């Protein structure tokens, strides 16, 4: 239990999910490390609508920036919630990668 603003809650609050690192891989696909230490692949083509149209420009989608734990593009004009990125991404496990010798 915990108390916040005079209200007692039964569970511990979930820590806010943030992005710690983001690297462009190819064609709008990013390797994203989250604050829960998971590394996942996020395909930005799921971002639709007029606000995301600038992401069609390779110079914009290749240059993500993290601001306050949130991935942004185009000088902060476009952003995406870390929760949305996490929920719409795929596990990326480097332990499963086999390298040729």
Residues 22-77: pLDDT tens digits? 999 998 999 999 999 999 999 999 999 999 999 999 999 999 999 999 999 999 99
pLDDT in tens, 62-91: 999 999 999 999 999 999 999 999 999 999
Contact between 4 and 70 under an 8 Å Cβ cutoff? The reply is: no
Task: Please give the pLDDT value at position 95.
Answer: 62
d(CA 101, CA 99): 6
pTM of the full predicted structure?
Answer: 0.78
Lookup result for tokens 């110079």: 59
Three-state SS sequence of 2-70: EEECCEEECCCCCCCCCEEEEEEEECCEEEEEECCCCEEEEEHHHCCCHHHHHHHCHHHHCCCEEECCE
């Amino acid at each position: 239990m915990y108390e916040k603003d005079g209200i007692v809650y039964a569970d511990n609050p979930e820590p806010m999910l943030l992005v710690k690192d983001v690297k462009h891989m190819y064609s709008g696909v990013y390797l994203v490390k989250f604050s829960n230490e998971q590394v996942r692949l996020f395909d930005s083509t799921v971002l639709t609508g007029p606000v995301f149209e600038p992401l069609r420009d390779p110079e914009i989608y290749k240059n993500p920036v993290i601001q306050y734990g949130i991935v942004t593009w185009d000088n902060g004009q476009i952003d995406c919630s870390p929760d949305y990125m996490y929920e719409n991404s795929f596990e990326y496990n480097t332990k499963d990668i086999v390298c040729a010798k």
